[in-house]
């Protein structure tokens, strides 16, 4: 198979890149001096998104022969990912691509490169780094891309928002998501306020699906950023700063955190606390090594000591970074989420938040909590009582206040009422219970038995 793309050469010319892929292993590029390092470097970039450098014989040729630099990385990456069928896309047109690819899959201009004056006539679209796009804001054929994922999205849908007004948004087909009544309420609260949350539950129960849907809802309602699900790190080195930066306004999904090295988990703490960004971050984990603790029909096969040890990996300060916690479990009898209603309620809750002009509740800075909340006197009393009883710190109090505000917004209530505080406190306390009070998951104490806020029975805050 031979694929063709246009790319930008060292002497500022658009040239044709031909990439052939055959069975075998050798990589050969006529025209790149650093050719031998490319497979390893791009492999690292691909892994950020779950792709890999394929075991193929790959030969790259430039027409006419030209001296290429790192700006041709993007074109090669796309050829390799399409050619190895990791991107299920049929490229029917010639695209011009320019940009170097860093180790996290970000598309960047090569320092010192000049902007092109003319574009190749054979290409219908020209994909360039975001930094270049702003110089061509009137030209809809020039598309700015931030990462390899953006390129894939563009090739897949053939269009993107930043192409300008001439492009219509593709209608999203909402999948059938089945959740219990209280998980539906939880789902809505997270979506409305973009609250960082921790999902625990057996494998295959929809944790990843929920995270992706939250992101889609953010995207639909707020023109959000991208979704990123990085590969679990193998060492303490976690590029969390870069992840947060890239998912600004979007969603960062940290899956299988129970399998992460302890040092990697600890490395997340400080950046998550200090993050001044609008990323919705979500972590997910199995509840135990075998994955089935708490499952309705499949027994857990782990010795009790191992479950404790597994859950103790999540330290209190780590869990504190999340405002909400849920045990997710699929049950065939659960009801389908009615998307039209979710979107309707979301829109109204978001309207309440934008009227306040302080951003989404999940990301309210601590010093503006007082202005935003309008907490009823009785609700404050409940909150302080709960704080005394549980010994929770100020950070937890803030988390509870943010979540309670979202619950009030979803009910279009001007003030935060005691029942909002009580349910939010209970949801947050269940989170803390993960380490030392795992019996909280028992049916008598699980937040999921509390029901929707219309009839809260919060044991944790009653005197």
Residues making contact with Zn ion (CB under 5 A): 288, 290, 293, 300, 302
Nearer to Zn ion, 207 or 350 (CB): 207
User: What backbone phi and psi angles, to 5 degrees, belong to 56?
Assistant: -140, 160
Q: How far is the CB of 328 from Zn ion (least distance, A)?
A: 16
Check if the beta carbon of residue 193 is closer than 8 Å to that of residue 411: no
Which of 89, 157, 88, 163 shows the shortest CA–CA distance to 125? 163
Instruction: Provide, rounded to whole angstroms, the least separation between the CB of residue 208 and Zn ion.
Output: 20
Rounded least distance, CB 286 to Zn ion, Å: 8
8 A C-beta contact, residue 5 and residue 62: no
Q: Which is nearer to Zn ion, 305 or 463 (CB)?
A: 305
Give whichever of 290 and 372 is closer to Zn ion, judged by the CB atom: 290
Beta carbon of residue 315, minimum distance to Zn ion (angstroms, whole number): 21
Instruction: Pick between residue 205 and residue 293 the one whose CB is nearest to Zn ion.
Output: 293
Q: What is the rounded CA–CA span in Å between residue 162 and residue 146?
A: 11
Query: Closest CB to Zn ion among 191 and 328?
Result: 328
Element (H, E) at 2: strand 2-8
Closest CA to 375 of 400, 405, 403, 395: 405
The CB-of-62 to Zn ion minimum distance in angstroms stands at 55
Residue 342 to residues 35, 155, 337, 413: CA-CA distances in angstroms? 51, 30, 8, 18
The H-assigned helical ranges of 119-255 are 130-133, 148-157, 181-193, 207-222, 240-246
Instruction: Supply the minimum distance, in Å, between the C-beta of residue 330 and Zn ion.
Output: 17
Q: Which of 305, 253, 321 is nearest to 284 (CA)?
A: 253
Q: Which residues contact 67 (CB under 8 A, 6 or more apart)?
A: 9, 10, 11, 31, 33
Given the complex with Zn ion, which of 79 and 290 has the nearer CB atom? 290
- Report, in Å, the least distance between residue 441 CB and Zn ion: 13
Beta carbons of 16 and 62 less than 8 angstroms apart? yes
Nearer Cβ to Zn ion (120/202)? 202
Say how many C-beta atoms besides its own lie within 10 A of residue 408's C-beta.
Answer: 27
């Amino acid at each position: 198979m031979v694929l063709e793309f246009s790319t930008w050469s060292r002497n500022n010319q658009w040239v044709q890149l031909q990439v052939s892929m055959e069975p075998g292993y050798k990589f050969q590029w006529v025209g790149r001096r650093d050719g031998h390092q490319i497979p390893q470097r791009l492999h690292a970039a691909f892994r950020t998104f779950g792709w890999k450098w394929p075991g193929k014989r790959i030969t790259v040729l430039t027409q006419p022969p030209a001296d290429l630099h790192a700006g041709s990385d993007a074109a090669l990456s796309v050829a390799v990912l399409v050619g190895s069928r990791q991107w299920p896309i049929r490229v029917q047109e010639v695209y011009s691509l320019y940009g170097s690819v860093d180790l996290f899959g970000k598309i960047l201009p090569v320092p010192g490169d000049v902007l092109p004056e003319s574009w190749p006539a054979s290409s219908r679209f020209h994909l360039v780094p975001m930094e270049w796009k702003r110089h061509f804001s009137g030209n809809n054929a020039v598309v700015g891309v931030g990462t390899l994922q953006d390129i894939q999205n563009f090739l897949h849908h053939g269009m993107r928002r930043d192409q300008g007004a001439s492009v219509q948004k593709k209608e999203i087909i909402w999948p059938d998501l089945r959740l219990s009544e209280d998980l539906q309420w939880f789902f809505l609260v997270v979506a409305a306020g973009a609250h960082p949350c921790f999902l625990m539950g057996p494998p295959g129960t929809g944790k990843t699906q929920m995270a992706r849907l939250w992101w889609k809802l953010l995207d639909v309602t707020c023109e959000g950023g991208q979704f990123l699900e990085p590969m679990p790190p193998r060492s303490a080195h976690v590029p969390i700063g870069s992840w947060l930066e890239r998912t600004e306004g979007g969603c960062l999904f940290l899956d299988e955190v129970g399998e992460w090295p302890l040092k990697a988990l600890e490395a997340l703490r400080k950046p998550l606390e200090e993050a001044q960004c609008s990323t919705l971050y979500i972590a997910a984990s199995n509840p135990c090594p075998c994955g089935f603790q708490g499952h309705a029909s499949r027994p857990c096969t782990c010795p009790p000591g191992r479950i404790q040890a597994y859950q103790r990996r999540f330290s209190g300060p780590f869990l504190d970074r999340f405002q909400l916690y849920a045990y997710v479990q699929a049950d065939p009898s659960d009801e389908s989420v009615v998307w039209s209603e979710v979107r309707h309620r979301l829109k109204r809750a978001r309207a309440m938040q934008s009227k306040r002009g302080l951003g989404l509740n999940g990301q309210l800075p601590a010093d503006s909590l007082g202005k935003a909340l309008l907490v009823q006197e009785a609700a404050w009393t409940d909150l302080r009582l709960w704080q005394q009883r549980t010994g929770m710190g100020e950070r937890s109090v803030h988390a509870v206040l943010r979540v309670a505000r979202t619950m009030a917004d979803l009910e279009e209530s001007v003030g935060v009422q005691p029942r909002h505080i009580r349910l939010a406190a209970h949801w947050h306390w269940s989170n803390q219970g993960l380490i030392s009070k795992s019996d909280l998951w028992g049916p008598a104490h699980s937040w999921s038995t509390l029901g929707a806020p219309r009839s809260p029975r919060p044991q944790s805050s009653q005197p």
